[in-house]
Amino acid sequence: MAEQEAKIEKIHKTEAEWRELLTPGQFHVMREKGTDRPFTGPLLDNHEEGVYQCAACNAPLFTSDKKFESGSGWPSFWLPVSAEAIEAHEDNSHGMHRIEVTCARCGAHLGHLFPDGPRPTGMRYCINSTSLDFSKK
């Protein structure tokens, strides 16, 4: 089963197809690497049990038991559902050195990864609410 999880089928769409599928706000964040304003996302204060999925392709990304209050203004997680669910890329935009996090299935921009999270990983996946859908358990 681990081998099957490692083989994520990629989704490829044109810019026009993504524009048709996503809202203007989702397109800006997920395809143009925009960012939600802090403390405005509807999933920031969500404390229900369930799975956070990519808003573009529905791939499972994070679970509620790995979510924590970081005080950053964005939903934060200390571990994705699997290492294969997300991809990390160097991001040197805006004069900063950061690690961008994208959906491994469709390439949507999710947010950034920082090394200031809680144990056991010490990582903080700082994710835009706009990039996520939530399914209750």
Mind telling me the catalytic residues? 126
- Helices within the chain (DSSP H only): 2-6, 15-21, 24-32
Q: Is 106 annotated as a binding residue?
A: yes
* Burial profile 69-100: b = 16 or more Cβ within 10 angstroms, e = fewer: ebebebbbbbbbbeeebbeeeebeeeeeebeb
Q: Is 30 annotated as ligand-binding?
A: no
Angle at 50 between CA 77 and CA 2, to 5 degrees: 75
Residues near 108 by Cβ (< 8 Å), separated by ≥ 6?
30, 31, 54, 55, 56, 57, 102, 131
Tell whether residue 57 is among the known ligand binding residues.
yes
Report whether 103 belongs to an annotated binding site.
Answer: yes
**Would strands 76-77 and 124-127 be described as parallel, antiparallel, or unpaired?**
antiparallel
Binding site for Zn(2+): residue ranges? 54, 57, 103, 106
Binding site: residue ranges? 54, 57, 103, 106
